[in-house]
Structure 1
Amino acid sequence: MPDDVDPLRAAWPGLSDLGAVALVGNAPGTEARAADAAAAVLRFNNAPGFGGRSGSRVTHLALVNRGGQMREWLADPGFLDRPVVRQAEAFVLPFPMLPEAQNRPEPICFTRGALALLRPLGKPVHVLPEELHDEARRVLEAGTGAGGRPNPSTGFLIALALLLGRPAGAPAVEAHGFGFAGWPGHPWAAERAWFTDAAAAGRLRLHPPPADG
């Protein structure tokens, strides 16, 4: 996907240099202390289990920047004091910024507010490009049969970005705690199939491994 990789790397400088990566999802009961040994540890949103059963390191924190969750964070005066936020070295916002005209009358995109909140911390904030979303929808539609313009999850978008933006021969991404369940608007079965295929190809490893059949 050469035409799509350049916008991705422009949006996330250093993506191709992350080395060994642990991707820690938020499935209930995730045990991922081994993730702390990776050069880069990517976590999501409220990162349940951080500091305990899911490990104590985070280099990149992905924060969903559309919908009510970001609205709640922007209204929370203690958000920047959360341990996972304080310890993150960089932030990833998975959705590109909507033009103001498309964000009315009821706003769904809170990218501007998120940038205003996070930038004073002096840490990089990467906003993933529309090209990545186009590729995610193409993969989910063509590769797994998910129709109707599927809405990829943040975990899927970050995993796809890692596999697209890293050089050939990079270590397999270690993915912990992906339960493929949650908000019903995401195509969980299709995402599970993609992760399983990527694991079979040696591009990532799922912990625990997918059940046979």
Structure 2
Amino acid sequence: MARRTIMIVGNGEVPEGAAATIDAADVVIRFNDCRSVGAGGTKTDIVAVCNTGRPALAMLGGGRWKNSAAVRQSREIWCVRSAEKFAGMRAALAETHPDLDDFCDDYTAGFESFAVSTGRAHRIISVAAHEQLDGDLAQFAPTPYVVPSSGMVVIADVLSGFASADDDIVLAGFGHAGWALHPFGAERRYVDALVAEGRLRRLSSSSSDLSQGA
């Protein structure tokens, strides 16, 4: 297989002037409502969705998400959260975080139905991938957390099998900040370690880096 550039674009700030570089990638992965579209280019091959709780319900309700330009051009929908994993978390969360009573509600079937009816591929990231990621993050002293971020789950999944050894995996729009119950500090340290190992790289605003990402 020819070497590909796989661009994983989070919903955070992207480097100035990065849009053309992102759009030139062989595969572009975006998240949920694809807020990265615009400054982060427009090409969207895969939309990775948080398929449980309120974010999932909001995306599936009405037609705004389904009819958005990014989703319409995508060829795959990835459900980031394993129903098996989240069902197993429900009882413990009821004790520790009773305010998250709908956090584990699973809407995978809705995303699968949408994908099938519109001719898109659909996949679910496995429970094994979640558990491996939890183990990997444990090495980076995470503060107590509920689950890793969707972005980190996708990064781990791409590294563990979707990408080949020769692929260039590039991150943009990852500020490692947001919901307090994601382990963003540990995720940043883990990604920094992966960058140091040469397994992926961050897209910067330097012209040399942008040209490498094309």
2:124 aligned to which of 127, 134, 158? 127
Structure 2: tracts of 5 or more residues without a match: 92-100, 206-214
Partner SS state of residue 77, structure 2: strand
Judged with a 3 Å threshold, the aligned counterparts in structure 2 of structure 1 residues 17 and 64 are, in CA distance, closer, same or farther, namely: farther
Determine the structure 1 residue equivalent to 2:211.
none
Taking a change above 3 Å as real, the CA distance of residues 89 and 134 of structure 1, as seen in their structure-2 partners, is same
Runs of 4+ residues over 3 Å off in structure 1: 28-32, 98-107, 147-150
Aligned 8 A contact 1:98 1:109 in 2: no
- Aligned identity (percent) is 26
2:73 maps to 1:87:
yes
- Write out aligned runs for 1:71-82 (5 A): 71-82=57-68
Deviation at 1:80, TM superposition (A): 1.6
Matched, 1:66 2:62: no
Q: Normalised by the size of structure 2, how large is the TM-score? A: 0.80
How far the C-alpha of 1:208 sits from its partner, in A, is: 3.0
1:175-186, aligned counterparts within 5 Å? 175-186=171-182
**Paired position in structure 2 for 1:41:** 28
Mapped pair 1:25 → 2:10: yes
Size of the alignment, in residue pairs? 191
Shift of 1:114: 2.0
Deviations 1:72-112 (A, max 9, x none): 12212333211011010111111122499877985621112
Question: Residues 100, 189 of structure 1: CA spacing in aligned structure 2 closer, same or farther, 3 A cutoff?
Answer: closer
Matched, 1:196 2:213: no
Given residue 159 of structure 2, which amino acid in structure 1 is its aligned partner?
A: L
User: Is the 1:59–1:87 contact (alpha carbons within 8 Å) kept by the matching residues of 2?
Assistant: yes
Give how far 1:40 is off.
0.5
3-state SS of 1:162 partner: helix
Q: Cα gap change, 1:98/1:171 in structure 2, threshold over 3 Å: closer, same or farther?
A: closer
**RMSD after superposition:** 2.6
Distance (whole Å) between structure 1 residues aligned to residue 40 and residue 64 of structure 2: 22
* 1:42 match: secondary structure: strand
Look up the equivalent residue of 2:32 and give its one-letter code. N
**Aligned equivalent of 1:139, options 136, 139, 160:** 136
Say which of 141, 148, 154 aligns to 1:152.
Answer: 148
